[in-house]
Amino acid sequence: MKTTGGTDDQKRRAGERAAEAVDDGDVVGLGTGSTAAYAIRALGRAVDDGLDVVGVPTSFDSRQLAREVGVPLRALDEVERIDVAIDGADQLDSRLDAIKGGGAAHAREKVVDAAAERFVVVVDPSKTAETLSRSVPVEVLPDARAAVERDIDALGGEPTLRRAERKDGPVVTDNGNVVLDCDFGAIAEPAALAADLAAVPGVVEHGLFVGLADAVYVGTDDGVEVRTRE
């Protein structure tokens, strides 16, 4: 589920600062969520001022917003490279590992973010923590749900089917799958859990983004704190 917290100004500062890192001629992965949306809007203004970029959206929402603000778009299979991806996170730890998937777009986000030469995460301070502890979204083939729930339980997690807020039934991803929000408590070893989840039959993708972020822009009340992977 989506994380609440942080101010609009903090999110705006992070998103706009990340947009400044985009160079003329870049292919840009366009992330999903309220903070990434500020980066997309900033890119739209830069395009109006003459910046030549192409965006690769990660979700229906990022595609729609990019179209509204005038960012030219291509599908992932239509580009030869992604120079930089800008995306948000639901939680980020001290090692720059992240949990994503509050908007149920983490499968496409991970493909785009992992393909990028540089992956920049934009967050407000409420998303940062020493250790990851939020529930991990897991996208699952609908027919495999019960089997996946048993396997996640065996891994020490508590899976909960994500329910839609304005319709009966579960949330359905852009890929036509369902999402299990899986509570593992504090995650001391994200890489190990990521490997375990990836090995479960029926799992399309999980929301642990381990070792992918190159830099993090944390919007604060006074500016932007930049963190890089050591």
Continuous segment of H or E residues that includes residue 87: strand 82-87
Are the C-beta atoms of 11 and 124 separated by less than 8 Å?
Answer: yes
The pair phi, psi for residue 12, each rounded to 5°, is: -60, -45
Catalytic residue among 16, 109, 149, 205: 109
Give strand pairing partners of 57: 30
Sheet order of strands, 54-57 included: 54-57, 27-30, 82-87, 116-123, 215-219, 224-228
Q: Which token pair is 7?
A: 């101010």
Is residue 109 annotated as part of the catalytic site, yes or no?
yes
Are the C-beta atoms of 100 and 207 separated by less than 8 Å?
Answer: yes
The one-character DSSP state at 56 is: E
Show which residues are catalytic: 109
